[in-house]
Copies of this chain bind each other. A is one copy, B any other.
Amino acid sequence: MRIPNHIGIIPDGNRRWAVKNGMTKEKGYNMGLKPGLELFKLCEKEGINEITYYGFTTDNTKRPKFQRVAFTQACIDAVKMLSKENASLFIVGNTESPMFPRELIPYTIKRQTFGNGKTKINFLVNYGWQWDLNDCFASNEKDKNMMDLIRSREISRIDLIIRWGGRRRLSGFLPLQSVYSDLYIIDEYWPEFTPKHFYNALEWYDKQDITLGG
Query: Which A residues form the contact surface with B (CB < 8 A)?
Result: 57, 59-60, 62-63, 129-130, 133-134, 136-139, 142, 146, 149, 167-172, 175-176, 178-185, 208, 211-214
Q: Is the CB of B134 within 8 A of A137?
A: no
Q: Is the CB of B184 within 8 A of A178?
A: no
Report Cα–Cα, A156/B203, bound state, in Å.
36
9 contacts between A and B (CB under 8 A): A59-B213, A62-B214, A133-B176, A137-B149, A168-B184, A169-B180, A169-B183, A171-B213, A172-B179
| 3 A-B pairs with least C-beta separation | A59-B213, A175-B175, A136-B137
Report Cα–Cα, A186/B184, bound state, in Å.
14
**Given A60-B213, A60-B214; A180-B175 close (CB under 8 Å):** no
Report Cα–Cα, A63/B181, bound state, in Å.
21
Report Cα–Cα, A184/B181, bound state, in Å.
15
Report Cα–Cα, A176/B60, bound state, in Å.
19
Report Cα–Cα, A181/B208, bound state, in Å.
22
